[in-house]
Structure 1
Amino acid sequence: MFDHVKFGVSDYAVSKIFFLKALEPLGVAVVSEGPPTYGVELLGPKSKASLCLYQTEERPAHLHLAFTAENRQQVDAFYRAALEAGGKDNGAPGPRPQYNANYYAAFVIGPDGHNIEAVCQEPEA
């Protein structure tokens, strides 16, 4: 739905490590990087849309970022990796029938208070 999302973070090094580790199970990797004030661009293997973060002193508003997972195992792996990377639980992996019958997601709070989600909307295998 989007080409890229770019947002400021208060501690570039911590946020970069968090997002790389948390999103590694989804195949996300660095595709370009400049100085912290320019930031880093992250991209998934089958995605055309990228996530970019950069260092700023401004306190950004909280965001809700939802990343597509190919299957429920990736959602589970994202959740574990995100917690290991310092994220805080905001909803363990599981079905969310209030959204739709196949919605399976996990939520964590990232270093700047953003709600980070991995979601699979495919039927259970």
Structure 2
Amino acid sequence: MIDHTGLQVSNPVASRNFYDKALAPVGYKLLIEVPKEFTEGKEVLGYGEPSKADFWVAEGVPNSPRLHIAFRAQHRGIVDSFYKAALAAGGKDNGPPGLREHYHKDYYAAFVLDPDGHNIEVVCHHPESS
């Protein structure tokens, strides 16, 4: 089981704006800002569901190649809401909400590039509610 992951970003202000809005539909919010005396003066932000951060955004040279991070959703409406929120927050479309049956019959996901080009996905593995 993965405990936490993260990525590096070039502009922490733009990235914070993006992630604050894009991750809200999946229930993630900014939980911790690590004091800069512990990070060599860099911005380090921890996102997650209360009370534990498990997705970290750190100021630095963006990872190369850019990373792909996927967040799990409990229903397809969350995928749709993520996509709209992420685009409104300045993300770039990398695959609108829809089924990706080549993964499995109920794989419903959307993909958005963050301000540095990291591929952020929200996926629901459940069938559509009736």
TM norm. shorter chain > 0.5: yes
Contact 2:46 2:53 in 1 (8 A): no
Contact 2:6 2:57 in 1 (8 A): yes
Aligned counterparts of 1:31 and 1:49: Cα–Cα separation in 2:
6
**Unpaired runs of at least 5, structure 2:** none
Task: Among all aligned residue pairs of Structure 1 and Structure 2, give the percentage whose two residues are the same amino acid.
Answer: 47
Provide the residue aligned with 1:88 in structure 2. 92
- Aligned residue type for 1:13: V
- Residue 49 of structure 1: CA displacement? 6.4
Q: Which has the larger radius of gyration?
A: 2
Contact 2:47 2:55 in 1 (8 A): yes
1:60 aligns with 2:63: yes
Provide the residue aligned with 1:39 in structure 2. 44
Provide the residue aligned with 2:123 in structure 1. 119
- Aligned residue type for 1:33: E
- Residue 6 of structure 1: CA displacement? 2.4
Aligned counterparts of 1:90 and 1:43: Cα–Cα separation in 2:
23
**Unpaired runs of at least 5, structure 1:** none
Contact 1:7 1:52 in 2 (8 A): yes
How far does the alpha carbon of each residue in 1:38-61 deviate from its partner, in whole angstroms, 9 at most, with x for none? 50100035x9661011111x2421
How many residue pairs get aligned? The number is 123
- Aligned residue type for 2:3: D
RMSD: 1.7
